Structure 1
Amino acid sequence: MKSQASLSTYSAVFSRFTRFAIVGLSGVFVDLGMFYFLHSSLGLALTISAMLSTEIAIINNFIWNDLWTFNDVSLQPNISQKLQRFVKFNLICLVGLILNSLIVSLLFYKFQVNEYIAKLIAIACVTLWNFWLNLKINWQLTNKTVDVVVDI
């Protein structure tokens, strides 16, 4: 019985991680699309366009994670709680962005890994980092929450 519960927990976490990754992938398209629009269409400076498009992607990802990935945990109607989650999500993503840059630089400059391979490795690492921190800090899951997800 205990191993079945463990398997159910892992299955629920894997399901959430899959949704988190899908949302993250949508964020890549939002980021690139907004970057193109801001920089090429509106003529904003490169750095401003990059910063704004990244923040818009973070907002996109927060909304979809709150509505879909962690919808059973984010049912609180309190706008203050939602705003707190958004601020935490933004901070976690900021740390993830810094980690991403450090990993790419370390792999490329120190270990001579191809820059695109280094970027893919960094994305994988930071995705795991962002998911784990959001799971533990932002959308805290309890055993009861996991049981509800498994039963669905």
Structure 2
Amino acid sequence: MTETTATIDAAPEKQNRTLRQLVSYTLIGGSGVALDFVVFLLLHNLTGMDEQLANALSTTLGIANNFVLNALFTFERRDRIVLRFLRFYAVGLTGIVLTNLLFLVFTDGLGIDANLVKAGSLPLVLALQFVLNRKWSFA
């Protein structure tokens, strides 16, 4: 088998691996999203906590949940765990910042309910974070 043939043969395998990782990341992300959203609703709606602070706290819990599960199942990387967590958390901070910007625009600026803005931000944040975590946190 030539080097070119080996590269071509490896391409579908790499695509399949990426697809499996995306599916696993999405499923695990779902558990983190559920945790994040429930904690956000409790903090914001039951305690009256400001939506941005509630978002930071709830997202942090979701990040920790997702890091552990993704390290074990999606990317199967257990080396340099502290460095990987710090990178994963930094990526998670992009989600916090993005969601808080959306709160500023849609909740504070346009008067849209914070619960709807939080729910609407989740798919956008998931996509951004998958790319960043795959390329940086678990590379």
Task: Report the TM-score when normalising by structure 1.
Answer: 0.65
Aligned to 1:46: 50
Unaligned 5+ runs, structure 1: 110-115, 141-152
Q: Does 1:75 align with 2:78?
A: yes
State the 1:17 CA deviation.
0.9
Once the two structures are superposed, residues 35-76 of structure 1 have per-residue CA deviations (whole angstroms, 9 ceiling, x without a partner) of 3444566x36234433211211111111111111112xx232
Instruction: Count the aligned residue pairs.
Output: 126
Aligned to 2:32: 27
Determine helix, strand or coil for the equivalent of 1:75: coil
Could you say what the CA RMSD is over the residues aligned between the two structures, in angstroms?
3.4
> Is the Cα–Cα contact under 8 Å of residues 44 and 50 in structure 2 kept in the other structure?
yes
Q: Does 1:9 align with 2:9?
A: no
> Is the Cα–Cα contact under 8 Å of residues 56 and 96 in structure 2 kept in the other structure?
no
> Is the Cα–Cα contact under 8 Å of residues 36 and 59 in structure 2 kept in the other structure?
yes
State the 1:91 CA deviation.
1.0
Q: Is the alpha carbon distance of 1:31 and 1:103 closer, same or farther for their aligned partners in structure 2, counting shifts above 3 Å?
A: closer
Aligned to 2:91: 92
Which stretch shifts more, 5-14 or 85-94? 85-94
Q: Taking every aligned residue pair, what percent have the same amino acid on both sides? A: 26
> Is the Cα–Cα contact under 8 Å of residues 40 and 58 in structure 2 kept in the other structure?
yes
> Is the Cα–Cα contact under 8 Å of residues 21 and 74 in structure 2 kept in the other structure?
yes
Once the two structures are superposed, residues 85-142 of structure 1 have per-residue CA deviations (whole angstroms, 9 ceiling, x without a partner) of 1111111121233345657959xx9xxxxxx7xx75x5444323211221121111xx
